[in-house]
Amino acid sequence: MIVVDKIDDVRKIVKKQKSQGMSIGLVPTMGYLHEGHLSLVKKAKENSDFVCASIFVNPIQFGPNEDYDKYPRDVKRDVKLLEENGCDLVFIPSVEEMYPNERLTTVSVSKITNKLCGAYRPGHFVGVCTVVTKLFNIFTPDIAVFGQKDAQQVAVIKKMVDDLNIPVKIIKAPIVREKDGLALSSRNIYLDADERKAALVLSKSLKEAKIMLEKGEKNASLIINIVKEVLKQEPLCEIQYVSCVHPDTLEDLTTIDDRALIALACYIGKTRLIDNLLWGEDI
């Protein structure tokens, strides 16, 4: 596996691969990798010839009171995991490499970024869209893989790619969970033993929603209520939001006709966790 930290080196290598007829797959990450990230690498391998990952804790997608400084990092371990999982190139730029001078240009997707997580993390999606656009311009990938764990991110990136005619196919990968149901997240490391137990309530609440949907429930408010009821049973859990929306437009649903996204964010102690259930769609 090739490890690079300079944009020019990525461009040279990608150009060479493309000249040999190879298609390029990209998996953007912030590192501290787990099986969720590695499932994206696997999916990229299934859908492209030369698989690239990036590891960059992107400062501009963190709010002033968020966890940029303490975000977990272990690049040595990440490189080993990527290599073992058949990644061909990893790009690990410095902040200066990605943002060398005063930034006057950002990429902003309106409307669908004002709800769900976007409503509570102002500026977050401008940061995400800006860095992902930069990565798309650096790698010019044929495909890029994003996890359904960050459901709003997938919807926003898809819209951005569509609106701006960026020639890349966005592929979604399903949420990878621990055996007990907790969605894998680099931030799970923040949880102490009691909080780790309490965090199970997120997936438990979505399981209840799934049971209701399987029984034929179509009323979105009832689904939201059952999820909230389950979450409220856990004293360490503080709900930020529970929403039932269309998976692409993120418009609130009143009736669930076919596809729906039940998305939630909660604090478990000081740690903000997200989870979701995608209904009516196989990925």
Member of 7, 30, 41, 242 binding ligand AMP (CB under 6 A): 30
How many C-beta atoms lie closer than 10 Å to residue 233's C-beta?
10
Q: Does 149 bind ligand AMP (CB under 6 A)?
A: yes
Which residues touch 131 (CB under 8 Å, ≥6 apart)?
28, 56, 58, 60, 61, 98
CA 206/CA 51 separation, integer angstroms:
33
Half-sphere exposure of residue 116: CA atoms within 13 angstroms, side-chain side: 30
Which residues touch 161 (CB under 8 Å, ≥6 apart)?
136, 168, 170
Q: Does 40 bind ligand AMP (CB under 6 A)?
A: yes
Q: Does 36 bind ligand AMP (CB under 6 A)?
A: yes
Member of 37, 121, 124, 134 binding ligand AMP (CB under 6 A): 37
Q: In the structure encoding, which two tokens stand for residue 261, read together?
A: 């996204």
Member of 135, 147, 155, 220 binding ligand AMP (CB under 6 A): 147
Catalytic residue among 34, 37, 124, 246: 37
Q: Judged by CB, which is closer to ligand AMP: 121, or 226?
A: 121
21: left (phi over 0), alpha (psi -120 to 50) or beta: left
Least Cβ distance, residue 144 to ligand AMP (angstroms): 9
Q: Does 198 bind ligand AMP (CB under 6 A)?
A: no
Q: In the structure encoding, which two tokens stand for residue 147, read together?
A: 């996890």
Least Cβ distance, residue 225 to ligand AMP (angstroms): 26
Q: How far is CA 276 from CA 53, 54, 81, 177, 247, in A?
A: 25, 25, 26, 12, 11
Name the closest residue to ligand AMP (Cβ): 147
Least Cβ distance, residue 29 to ligand AMP (angstroms): 4
Q: Does 150 bind ligand AMP (CB under 6 A)?
A: yes
Q: Where are the alpha helices (DSSP H) in the chain?
A: 7-19, 35-47, 75-84, 95-98, 116-120, 124-139, 151-163, 193-198, 200-214, 220-232
Member of 4, 13, 24, 29 binding ligand AMP (CB under 6 A): 29
37 included as an active-site residue: yes
Q: In the structure encoding, which two tokens stand for residue 80, read together?
A: 């080993």
Member of 146, 156, 242, 245 binding ligand AMP (CB under 6 A): 146
Q: Judged by CB, which is closer to ligand AMP: 102, or 282?
A: 282
Least Cβ distance, residue 254 to ligand AMP (angstroms): 28
Q: Within 173-192, which residues bind ligand AMP (CB under 6 A)? A: 173, 175-176, 183-186
| Residues known to be catalytic | 37
Q: Which residues bind ligand AMP (CB under 6 A)?
A: 29-30, 36-37, 39-40, 146-147, 149-150, 173, 175-176, 183-186
